[in-house]
Amino acid sequence: MPEAFVAPGADVAGSARLGDGVKVWHLAQVREDAEIGANSIVGRGAYIGTGVRVGANSKIQNHALVYEPADLAEGVFVGPAVVLTNDTFPRAINPDGTQKSASDWDAVGVTVEEGASIGARAVCVAPVRIGAWSTVAAGAVVTRDVPAHALVAGVPARRIGWVGHSGVPLVEQDRTWVCPTSGTVYVEEGGSLRETG
Q: Is 63 annotated as catalytic?
A: yes
Catalytic residue among 26, 63, 149, 165: 63
Q: Hey, what amino acid is at 25? A: W
92 and 130 in contact (C-beta within 8 Å)?
no
Backbone dihedral angles phi then psi of residue 104, each to the nearest 5 degrees = -90, 5
Which has the closest alpha carbon to 2: 19, 21, 18?
A: 21
Which has the closest alpha carbon to 30: 76, 67, 71?
A: 67
CA distances from 63 to 28, 105, 135, 177 (A): 8, 25, 19, 35
Instruction: List the catalytic residues.
Output: 63
